[in-house]
Structures are given as structure tokens and as C-alpha cells.
Structure 1
Amino acid sequence: MTVPGEQPAARFDSAVRASGLQKTYGRGETAVHALAGVDVTFARGAFTAIMGPSGSGKSTLMHCLAGLDSASAGQVWLGETELTALRDEQLTTLRRDRIGFVFQSFNLLPVLDARENMVLPMQLAGRRPDPAWLDSVVGRLGLRDRLRHRPHELSGGQQQRVAVARALLPRPDVVFADEPTGNLDSRSGAEVLGLLRSSVRETGQTVVMVTHDPVAAAYADRVVLLADGLLAGELEDPTADSVIDALRGLGA
């Protein structure tokens, strides 16, 4: 027996998927169709990058998949749960408990140290991180000697590692990363991407990342390409060169 907003588990071997997803901003002649009917599936335990020309709908797609924006039509499923059937308060709970976020801006509170920033979302939800898991995440991210440092005492790369730790601690179904290396130099960016990559390989985490950078996309298992609000192709085992060639084909 299923409850509203859910379907049998046997039908779901994906972490998140969209069916007929549409998003329109405005009305009439000024309407902008950011997503025009997207069907896409993101596998569990995989690292997927979303790419496309400016205005292709890639950020809108991620925001709809993550429950940060509502769809105009179509459905989004997180595992067995249909996000597009949930009320606002249900979406808030789902995002808190089952989704992790890493943004271009690190979104750390300046008055809190690194450890306090990591655990804050769980504390606000009335939960405590598992000590062994916290120690494992901190160790893998190389932050053991930075836990008592406040954001202004950390480099950009270290701040983003704190943000990655914050996203991983609740053991979410999916981590959504929106241009996570956009404010980092190439070395720090490579470190953060490598950490996201290792979280997929070593712990089975699912990561979905929006990026404009072909080098960043090459860390992923798969690249999903968008153009004009529609799925325009996919690349398996991408390289920076294969991503560049694919983007050229889209006119990017």
C-alpha cells in the first residue's frame, strides 16, 4: 500500500528524476519558458553534471529538482517521493532531511567556527550528527586542524570544504552543487571537485552539479546537456575536450 505522493519502491532505482518538467516565468507575450518539458533521471551513487549555454535552463532544472522552485507542469521525484505533490511545509522538511546543498557562495555564518557551521542545520532540525561520521567527513576533507577557525580565518577552498561537510553530514539522498568552484582558484576548485568525486566513490553519495566549466564537468560520471529548456544530449565518462566539443555543438 502506498500513500499520496509515493509509488512502489520497485519502480525507483534513481535518486531523483523529472518527467515532463516545465517552468515558465511570466505570462503572455513576456513569458519565458525556462524548462519546456524535460525528462531526465539521475542514478543513485553517481556524480552527474548539468551543462548548457547561458539561459539553457540548467540552474532552473536544479532548483526544481531540489525543491527550491516550483514546477509549472510535470513531476519531480526524489526516490519514491513526488516533490511536486508536497505542500510547502513538507518540502521544507524534505529539503532539511534528505537534500544537501553546496553553492558558489559558501553561505557560512561569520560568527560561528567551522565545526559550528557544519552542524548548524542538523541542530536547527533537532538532530545530532553521528560522531564517527562527523570525524570521518572532517578527516576526508582535511579540516581537523581548522574546526575552531571562523570563516574569515579560512581560505576560500577551506570555506567551501566546510560547506561540503555541512552538506554531507546529514547523509542526504542527494547533494546538489550549484557552481561550487565558481569563487575558487583552480587549485582549490580541483580539491573541492576531487572531494565530491571521492564522496561518490567511497560512500555512495549521489551528487548533481550545475557548472559552466568543462574541466569541472570532467570530474563527473555523466554530463546532461540542456539547450533552450530541453534535454539536448548526454555524455558518459566525460573529458574536458568531449564536453567542449558537445557545448560547441549546442552553440555555447
Structure 2
Amino acid sequence: MERTSVVYRQRFKRRARRVARRVLPFMASLFMATPLASPVINSKVRAASTEAKLPSVKELQAAFYNQRTHSLYQELGLEGQGLRFEVFEKALTGYLNLQSEGRLSNDKQLLTVVDFGLPSTAKRLWVIDLAQKQVKFNTLVAHGHNSGENEATAFSNKNESNMSSLGFYVTQDEYVGKHGRSLKLDGVDEGFNTNALERSVVMHGADYVSEDFIKQNGRLGRSLGCPAVPMDQKDEIIEAVNGGTCLFLNGPDESYSSKYLNQDIAINTLLANNG
């Protein structure tokens, strides 16, 4: 029995070595914080107990991903800027899924997050540079006219709904339209935002997205479904995020789901990115 136990542990160690090498600092901190168990007299019982508590490869990977995501969230100072961790985690998971499909630019490691779970009076748009680990912009953004007043509560992918559409987008090319400099957005979440290009849901500047408008009206103005940004920042934001970067629009809709929220793919992409 002891021989079989040794062979099992050796096989497990070989299987987990690559993942464990990346999560040792995280696991070590857990062991340091946990009191040592009392000695067990029977060595066979002790070996069986150890085997029962050994984490699986998938558990190690999940622990690694959770630790890295929390560390990045803290390093970026996002909590102090009002971005909730659960929203950031979803956005990062989608970014890594899209990256794994080769849908994002290799030149710009940017993640733009809009949280329509916050009122329009809050700075609820963040442009995050993942390579430089810095927040480039944190500003106001409008939601669709029929999505709600100060708070967005309804969302749609239908033409002429005048509502915002939740989900992941990949930014496309710029153009000059009725709102001036604007940016096309390609919705990639089937059933939730894939009509964005047909609906002309784009990023553009608007006079009704300003602190002055909030002071006069108690909320921002609203668009026809576009994530409209302040006029004095639109050029810089569009210049930064154009050409194949990830945009995630979050909101209070329990029906929302996305194939890009696959954590296994996100973990594998993160491991690949870290060599």
C-alpha cells in the first residue's frame, strides 16, 4: 500500500509541476497563515490524509488566476476609482478569451470597461493599459435613452430600440459622422450586441456628457444606444482605443451570458502570456 501511495504522489507531482511552479508564492502564503497540524502516529493515515488534501491541477490554476487578478486590480488602484472587482474580473476574463482567438490587436493591450450598474453621474468608464498597468482614462459615459433615466435598467440588441447593448466589443476603425469623430464598435456577444454595427452603435463625443449637464439636470443626457463620452476627451479616448481593442459594457441584467466568460480559456491564455 505504501509503495502504491508513493507512485501516486510521484505521478501527481509530475502532472502538477508546471502549474505549481507559477503558484508557489500564492500557496506559500496560505501555508504560512495556516497552523501546523498535530503529528499523526500512523504514517499510512498521514499519507492518505495528505493525498486527500492535495489540490487538483484545475484548483491550482483557479487559485493562480484569482491571485493574479486580485493583484492586478490592487496594483491599478481600481477600487479607489469605483470599479468593482467582480466587474473587472469579468472584463479581464473576456479580454483574455478574445485574445486567445486572435481578435485583439497585438500592439495595444487595452481594456475599456463601462459599468452601467452605476448611475450616469458616476465616472463609470475606465480605459486600462494592461501592459503599462495604468488607468489611462476614468470618466463619464452616457447610456441609451430607453435604457433608463439616471440609472440604466433595460438593454436591447434590437434596431431602433434606443437602448444600450451589454457585452464584449472589439473596436474598429474611426470615421467622421454627424457626431464628428466617432469609432465603430463590433459587438461579439450573440443575442446581446451583435447588431451594433447595423444600429450604428458607436463611441462618440456629446455635449450632454459633462459635469455641467449633471449640475443642471441631475443626470447625464442620453444617447440612442451609443456609449457617448465627454467632448473634451473624445479625441484622446478614440485615438487610444481604436483598432482592435476590447470594450466591455456591464449592466444589471441577469439574462446576460457570454461564451467569452470562459475562465479555463482565460487561465490558459494568462499562463501562456507569462511563459
* TM-score > 0.5 by shorter chain: no
Question: Which TM-score applies when normalising by structure 1?
Answer: 0.22
Bigger relative contact order, structure 1 or 2 (CA pairs below 8 A, ≥6 apart): 1
The structure with the largest strand share of the pair is: 1
